[in-house]
Amino acid sequence: MEDYRVKNYEFLDSKPYFASWEIDVFIVFVTFFGLAFLTPTGSFLPFVILSVIGLIAAYSYSKIKHSKVKGYFFHILYSLGILKTKTLPPSYMRVFFGA
């Protein structure tokens, strides 16, 4: 059973929270919730559907984020070519240490 209480900051460098969601997870939900507000005013069903999709997307993003190592999503962005690296390591370096 999950604990649904509001999380406190455990460390000084903890990410900011909104209620019990980290900010990046909250942004995923707010994106879908904002799209739900852009639906035509007389229709309630698309609003509910987009809001539920937002909850599911935020929950899924949170689970994926906590199951992967730190920097996983940036690695995907680098490998897709969306982000560019500032420098490249020398070609003779084969093993890297650090966090």
Rounded to a whole number of angstroms, the CA Rg of the chain reads: 19
pLDDT of residue 53: 94
User: In the numeric block, which tokens belong to residue 16?
Assistant: 């900011």
pTM of the model: 0.59
Q: What's the rounded Cα separation, in Å, for the pair 67 and 82?
A: 23
Q: Is the pLDDT reported for residue 88 higher than 90?
A: no
Residues 11-30 pLDDT 10s: 666 667 777 778 888 999 99
| Residue owning tokens 């909850």 | 55
What is the distance between the alpha carbons of residues 52 and 37, in angstroms, rounded to a whole number?
13
Q: Is the pLDDT of residue 1 over 60?
A: no
